[in-house]
């Protein structure tokens, strides 16, 4: 900064932040100037032993104005009160804004409260931020260190202390933090995880090896997958009939073909989604032996009757 002028008197602050927190410090600079435009006023004529008042004013910061009152009665109580008032005003002028406004308590105890177990397309979530410290307090919200701003579904209210997301989507989930600040400091909350349950969707049945026909001695693996939070539970169907197995051999009395499919279920969203059926063709009447069976996959071995 080059030559200073009285207009440079201001509060200067520096804010340093990283992905998890930020700190701010403030410097108050007062540029002294004057005195100039000095004006003095008082009575033009006075009688002996009569109290009188002289006043002096000037544009100045940096020095007290001093007035030598040579009147016969200089112990006027009103004049002394006026002098004390000027001193208090001078202290008010020089004190930092944080002290003048009473904002002397640093920000602390920043916390977030919210409901973190949500269902996509169903729920609306509200996050509230609270903090200790002198007013005025201001708030900023972050999701994985990216600032959250208002939009069609995102509302920031209560002076910034409340964040509402309407009809949550899976893309809203993340680690949310709140930064609270006042004129003398700032502090961030610990992160709060927001989790959105969704699905199941994209249910897919995979059969390996893939073949047009399966003959005697073939070993076939079936697996089912789905995009879901939490992980989906699966049920299996042959020709539309649900079946299960603990690994024992089962005679399905299946002749040449059967349609296999799987169905995924999400215990949080309470939604079911089924895969497209896959046809298995067998050359002759055989027994289907379950070699391995789990919630999302199984292996069969085809043997003759």
Shared-domain flag, residues 168 and 261:
no
* 1 inside domain: no
Residue predicted with more confidence, 44 or 130: 130
Shared-domain flag, residues 119 and 193:
yes
pLDDT at 79 over 60: no
Shared-domain flag, residues 177 and 228:
no
Among 68, 100, 132, the domain boundary falls at 100
Average pLDDT, the chain: 75
What are 10's strand-pairing partners? 29
* 263 inside domain: yes
Shared-domain flag, residues 92 and 151:
no
Other CB atoms closer than 10 Å to residue 302's CB: what's the count? Answer: 20
pLDDT at 74 over 60: no
Range of the domain at 158: 108-197
The verdict on pTM exceeding 0.95 is: no
What is the per-residue pLDDT for 3?
Answer: 73
- CATH number for position 173: 2.60.40.10
Residue predicted with more confidence, 218 or 133: 133
- Rounded-to-integer distance, Cα 41 and Cα 279, Å: 108
Q: How confident is the model at residue 35 (pLDDT cuts 50, 70, 90)?
A: confident
Shared-domain flag, residues 202 and 296:
yes
The two structure tokens encoding residue 7: 């207009």
What is the per-residue pLDDT for 124?
Answer: 95
Count of domains forming the chain: 3
Residue predicted with more confidence, 148 or 4: 148
What is the per-residue pLDDT for 51?
Answer: 62
Shared-domain flag, residues 246 and 283:
yes
Please report the DSSP string for 70-135 in residue order: -SS----HHHHHHHHHHHHHHHHHHS-HHHHTT--SPPEEEEEE---EEETTT--EEEEEEEESPS
Q: Are 18 and 41 in contact (CB under 8 A)?
A: no
Q: How confident is the model at residue 66 (pLDDT cuts 50, 70, 90)?
A: very low
Q: How confident is the model at residue 20 (pLDDT cuts 50, 70, 90)?
A: low
Among 149, 182, 197, the domain boundary falls at 197
Among 197, 212, 231, the domain boundary falls at 197
State pLDDT tens for residues 106-127: 999 999 998 878 999 999 999 9
The two structure tokens encoding residue 55: 């006043």
* 130 inside domain: yes
């Amino acid at each position: 900064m080059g030559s200073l002028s009285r207009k440079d008197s201001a509060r200067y602050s520096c804010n340093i932040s990283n992905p998890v927190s930020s700190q701010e410090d403030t410097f108050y600079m007062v540029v002294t100037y004057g005195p100039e435009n000095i004006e003095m006023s008082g009575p033009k004529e006075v009688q002996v032993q009569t109290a009188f008042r002289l006043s002096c004013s000037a544009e100045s910061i940096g020095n007290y104005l001093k007035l030598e009152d040579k009147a016969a009665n200089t112990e006027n109580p009103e004049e002394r009160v006026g002098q004390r008032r000027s001193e208090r005003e001078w202290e008010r002028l020089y004190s930092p804004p944080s002290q003048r406004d009473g904002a002397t308590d640093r920000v602390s105890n920043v916390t977030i409260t919210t409901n973190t177990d949500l269902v996509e397309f169903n729920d609306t979530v509200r996050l509230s931020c609270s903090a200790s410290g002198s007013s005025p307090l201001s708030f900023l919200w972050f999701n994985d260190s990216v600032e959250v701003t208002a939009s069609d579904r995102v509302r920031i209210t209560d002076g910034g202390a409340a964040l509402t997301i309407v009809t949550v989507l899976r893309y809203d989930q993340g680690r949310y933090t709140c930064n609270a600040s006042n004129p003398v400091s700032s502090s961030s909350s610990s992160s709060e995880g927001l989790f959105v349950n969704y699905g199941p969707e994209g249910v897919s049945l995979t059969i390996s090896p893939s073949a047009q026909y399966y003959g005697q001695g073939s070993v076939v693996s079936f697996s089912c997958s789905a995009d879901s939070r939490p992980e989906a539970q699966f049920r299996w169907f042959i020709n539309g009939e649900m079946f299960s197995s603990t690994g024992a051999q089962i005679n399905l009395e299946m002749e040449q073909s059967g349609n296999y499919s799987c169905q995924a279920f999400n215990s949080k969203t309470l939604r079911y989604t089924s895969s497209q059926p896959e046809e298995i063709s067998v050359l002759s009447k055989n027994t289907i032996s379950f070699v391995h069976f789990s919630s999302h996959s199984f292996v069969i071995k085809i043997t003759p009757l």
